[in-house]
Amino acid sequence: MWNLLLSFSGLVALIQLIFLPFFPESPPYLLLQKEDKAGCLKAMKQLWGEGNYQTEFDDLMKEKAITKGTKIMNVLEVLREGSVRPQLCTMLLLLLSLQLCGLKIFETANLHESIIPYVSLGVSISELISIIFCSSIIDRCGRRLLLCGGYLLMALILVLLETSLLLSDQFLWLRFCSVILIFLFIIAYGLGP
């Protein structure tokens, strides 16, 4: 009954997609990244109700002053930084262990057993690609756009995946489309949610 479980996550994503546009951006994001003081105060009032948030705003301004001289590192610079190497190794081990997950969906797609480990490896590579891509564009696009876009892509991919799995017995080429859709789903998930 994995398809019901997959549909449930799609339902949760749809609910979040519907309500997400009504929430404001994060106040720290508005102030520190976009340098929008009025938007930051407005977001604070929307999130926390009417009140005086000058103390929180001042804290954010202090953080902005502290980080003003700090250079934002790109992905390659982070990979070269020795102080974050233990965290990167932990993340890499987690990604590599995830290749053991999801074997059931590949069996449902009627893939030959000898191909499944390679497909699982492809899943891990897709996750790594999405993490690197997302971390390099999140400051430019903002979280809201990535979340909305990610959920929209995930919903579309889930519909196509369910259709391809249902029809994979009639059309053998749809089995490989299912694998590609799973890769795309993982990338869409990594970009937003």
Task: Tell me the pLDDT tens digit for each residue of 21-62.
Answer: 888 888 888 888 788 889 888 888 888 888 888 888 888 888
- The alpha carbon dihedral of 70, 72, 75, 76 has a sign of negative
| Same domain membership, residue 109 and residue 52 | no
Q: Which of 10, 44, 69 is the last residue of a domain?
A: 69
**Do residues 101 and 122 both lie within one domain?**
yes
Cα dihedral 40, 61, 191, 20, rounded to 10, equals -20
The CA distances from residue 36 to 33, 47, 58, 66, in Å, are 8, 16, 14, 17
Pick the closest to residue 177 from 118, 110, 127 (CA basis): 110
Residues, the chain, total? 193
pLDDT of residue 144: 77
Q: Please say which residue of 24, 41, 69 terminates a domain.
A: 69
Per-residue pLDDT of the chain (193 residues; tens, 9 = 90+): 666 766 777 788 788 889 888 888 888 888 887 888 898 888 888 888 888 888 888 888 888 888 777 776 777 887 888 888 888 887 776 566 555 545 556 666 666 777 777 777 777 787 777 777 777 777 677 777 878 888 888 889 888 988 888 887 788 788 788 888 888 887 887 777 6
Residues 133 and 79 in one domain: yes
Q: Which domain holds residue 97?
A: 75-191
Q: So what's the pLDDT on residue 108?
A: 61
One domain for residues 127 and 169: yes
